[in-house]
Chains A and B, each alone.
Chain A
Amino acid sequence: GENVGLHLPTLSVQEGDNSIINCAYSNSASDYFIWYKQESGKGPQFIIDIRSNMDKRQGQRVTVLLNKTVKHLSLQIAATQPGDSAVYFCAENIPPYKYIFGTGTRLKVLA
């Protein structure tokens, strides 16, 4: 499943499928990008990050892709599990202190 994150859209995927969550960022000066996961009733938690001198970074079951030409970031989650259900945010950082969060995407994992 794939979605563009504006106005908190919802992405529904079957358990075991791959998920792709997209994010458009705004500032050319942004030098560092972070994906956060926010579960219900909790604060955002760090998932993975990428610096502007990279275009891909992989973690455990997650991959972040960065396209600076079109100011686009994506988060890929492999073999999506029920525990992945949450709201996902991208954040752009203009070092050292300025962080701008995207509008978020709600991921629902269907059993």
Chain B
Amino acid sequence: DTAVSQTPKYLVTQMGNDKSIKCEQNLGHDTMYWYKQDSKKFLKIMFSYNNKELIINETVPNRFSPKSPDKAHLNLHINSLELGDSAVYFCASSPGPRVRTYNEQFFGPGTRLTVL
């Protein structure tokens, strides 16, 4: 019964390729997020969606394009991959402000992206 799931878990690809990472949550949450964790474990928010609408876009290159086909899914597509994109990408969800004011986030297991 995985609450927040991501696929794939590992992704190894060449520079210049285009790749996608998928995320699904079965918690009924309204809000979903993408985070990037670098090699020093620093976690930085990239995007936030609430009910399929983009809420936060944190100065991420436009090679990164999130897509939310419905409230339970938030996918991340990356064009023209660069070496610096190598990191672990985490999807997360939270109930959202419609449900309550204070929301902890539930994280997926992460996708380790390696760009060669």
Contact = CB atoms under 8 A, between A and B. Distances in A.
Contacts of A8: 40-42
A93 B41 CA distance: 19
Interface size class of A (residues with CB under 8 A): 20 to 34
Interface residues of B, number: 27
Contacts of B48: 97
* Most chain A CB within a 10 A radius of its CB, from B33, B97, B102, B110: B102
Interface string A34-53: 10101001111110010100
Contacts of A42: 109-110
Contacts of B102: 31-32, 49, 51, 93, 95
B31 interface: yes
Given A43-B107, A49-B104, A97 B55 contact: yes
Nearest to A31: B102
Contacts of B105: 34, 44, 46, 91, 99
Interface of B: 4, 31, 33, 40-45, 48, 50, 55-56, 90, 92, 96-97, 101-110
A49 B50 CA distance: 22
Nearest to A99: B45
A95 B106 CA distance: 16
Secondary structure of the A contact surface, majority rule? strand
Contacts of B33: 99
Contacts of B40: 7-8, 103
A13 interface: no
Contacts of B104: 34, 46, 49
Given A87-B41, A97-B55, A98-B56, A46 B106 contact: yes
Contacts of A51: 102
Contacts of A98: 45, 56
Interface in A76-90: 87, 89
A96 interface: yes
Contact of B97 (A31, A45, A95): A95
10 smallest beta-carbon distances between A and B, as pairs: A43-B107, A96-B97, A101-B43, A32-B102, A46-B104, A44-B107, A97-B48, A104-B41, A97-B55, A8-B41
